[in-house]
Amino acid sequence: MAEATHHTDSFAQIANAITPANTLGIITHRRPDGDAIGSSIALAEALKEIGKTVHLVNEDEVPDTLRFLTGTESFHAAREIETPIPVDLIVVLDAAGHDRVGDGTWAAFRNHGPVINIDHHVSNNHYGDLNHVDTASPATGQIVFDLITASGWSLTSAGRDALFAAISTDTGSFRFPSTGAATYRIAADLVDRGLDVGHISQQLYESYPMRRLLLLRDLLQDMDIREGGRVVAVKLTLEMAESVGMRPGDTEGLIDVIRSIDSVIVAVFFEEMSDGKIRVSSRSKTPGIDVGRVCAVFGGGGHQLAAGARMKGPLEEAAERFLTEVAKRINGIN
Ligand SMILES: [Mn+2]
């Protein structure tokens, strides 16, 4: 495997690029998750405090489940922007590639300056003019925390709560192996700054709409159990999504339910998209089964333990092809 030899720009270089800018765009990947939204809010808040004008634009809407965060009201859907907004630079957060953001979002700006790429995905291809990619970081929120504090910018209470949401959701509530001592220190720092852990955690993990559970019930009804329970998959059809009135973000974290089974080594979530493509999310519990490589077979990518791909439909055929590829590797570790 070819190791990336990319250069990473320092926080000082990034701050130096931001300092002369008056107006900035902050963008992130489509179908934004907690890390994408939380990192964006925290950075936007910090930059507004030093007098910048900040525009938050995304290809898709903020998921309902994250709307409790102060700052989410500042996001604009790309399709609502009729005239491109002139900006002095664009910061892209948590997006592994230029294409992860979406064409509509890029088209929402007339950018007169650099693109700053801040991310933690191993598959990041350093598409920015400045790039800070820290693959050891479990969340972009952790990098943004370090950028804000290293630059002497302020962390508002909205920024504090947003960063906790970012880091908590991307680490599976501080459980994933990438959760390091630095992650816990940042969390402690956020608590020192007045963060209400119980309140935010309840908002994040105990405030789901009923339809999400109805969807889970449907998914588990047809759970696909293979390789003696070592591989488990669920398949979300458009029909199932429609029947519960699924909204963006509803499926976030559902894969963890099947990953949590004791026998499971690989968990896979297949989702039929409206364009006929099949969105695949996969999780592995052991580096011995690298789901990043499985996804790469189908043009996707990610980490050893968490990766995704978009496959050609129909759903059952895509699932069969993907799970066959997983089975080959599962049988290889016996
Ligand atoms: Mn992330």
Q: Give the pLDDT band (50/70/90) at residue 154.
A: very high
216 in the same domain as 172? no
The tens digit of pLDDT for each residue in 107-121 reads: 999 999 999 999 999
Rounded Cα distance between 235 and 67, Å, is: 27
Instruction: Quote the ligand 1 centre to 120 CA distance (angstroms).
Output: 7
137 in the same domain as 226? no
| Residue 246 belongs to a domain | yes
Residue finishing a domain among 205, 233, 268: 205
pLDDT score at 246: 95
Percent of the chain with pLDDT over 90: 92
Q: Give the pLDDT band (50/70/90) at residue 7.
A: confident
Instruction: Quote the ligand 1 centre to 80 CA distance (angstroms).
Output: 25
pLDDT score at 2: 41
Percent of the chain with pLDDT over 70: 98
172 in the same domain as 43? yes
Instruction: Check whether 302 has a pLDDT greater than 90.
Output: no
167 in the same domain as 109? yes
Residue finishing a domain among 205, 229, 250: 205
326 in the same domain as 272? yes
Instruction: Quote the ligand 1 centre to 15 CA distance (angstroms).
Output: 21
Instruction: Quote the ligand 1 centre to 221 CA distance (angstroms).
Output: 30
Q: Give the pLDDT band (50/70/90) at residue 334.
A: low
Instruction: Quote the ligand 1 centre to 176 CA distance (angstroms).
Output: 13
184 in the same domain as 261? no
Q: Which of 302, 320, 29 is closest to 311 using CA atoms?
A: 320
Instruction: Check whether 3 has a pLDDT greater than 50.
Output: no
93 in the same domain as 53? yes
Instruction: Quote the ligand 1 centre to 142 CA distance (angstroms).
Output: 9
101 in the same domain as 231? no
Instruction: Quote the ligand 1 centre to 28 CA distance (angstroms).
Output: 10
| Residue 1 belongs to a domain | no
Alpha-carbon dihedral 166, 291, 315, 234, rounded to 10 degrees: -70
Instruction: Quote the ligand 1 centre to 138 CA distance (angstroms).
Output: 7
Instruction: Quote the ligand 1 centre to 141 CA distance (angstroms).
Output: 7
Q: Which residues are close to ligand 1, an ion, with C-beta < 5 A?
A: 35, 94, 140, 170
Mean pLDDT for 117-128 is 94
Q: Comparing 46-60, 70-84, 255-269, 294-308, which segment has the lowest mean pLDDT?
A: 294-308
Q: Comparing 104-108, 186-190, 249-253, 324-328, which segment has the lowest mean pLDDT?
A: 249-253
162 in the same domain as 21? yes
254 in the same domain as 185? no
Rounded Cα distance between 106 and 217, Å, is: 38
Instruction: Quote the ligand 1 centre to 139 CA distance (angstroms).
Output: 5
Give per-residue burial for 141-170: e unless 16+ CB within 10 Å, then b.
Answer: bbbbbbbbeebebebbebbbbbbbbbbbbb
Instruction: Quote the ligand 1 centre to 31 CA distance (angstroms).
Output: 12
Q: Which amino acid, residue 15?
A: A
Mean pLDDT for 200-208 is 95
Mean pLDDT computed over every residue of the chain: 95
Q: Give the pLDDT band (50/70/90) at residue 140.
A: very high
Mean pLDDT for 192-218 is 96
Instruction: Check whether 48 has a pLDDT greater than 90.
Output: yes
Instruction: Check whether 106 has a pLDDT greater than 90.
Output: yes
- When divided into structural domains, the chain yields a total of 2
Check which CATH number belongs to the domain holding 251 and give it. Answer: 3.10.310.30
Exposed (0-12), middle (13-18) or buried (19+): which is 89, by Cβ within 10 Å?
Answer: buried
Instruction: Quote the ligand 1 centre to 228 CA distance (angstroms).
Output: 32
Instruction: Quote the ligand 1 centre to 123 CA distance (angstroms).
Output: 12
| Residue 259 belongs to a domain | yes
| Residue 3 belongs to a domain | no
177 in the same domain as 160? yes
Q: Look up the domain containing 291 and give its range.
A: 210-332
Check which CATH number belongs to the domain holding 97 and give it. Answer: 3.90.1640.10
pLDDT score at 5: 62
Instruction: Check whether 176 has a pLDDT greater than 80.
Output: yes
| Residue 66 belongs to a domain | yes
Instruction: Quote the ligand 1 centre to 252 CA distance (angstroms).
Output: 13
Residue finishing a domain among 173, 205, 237: 205
Mean pLDDT for 306-311 is 94
197 in the same domain as 107? yes
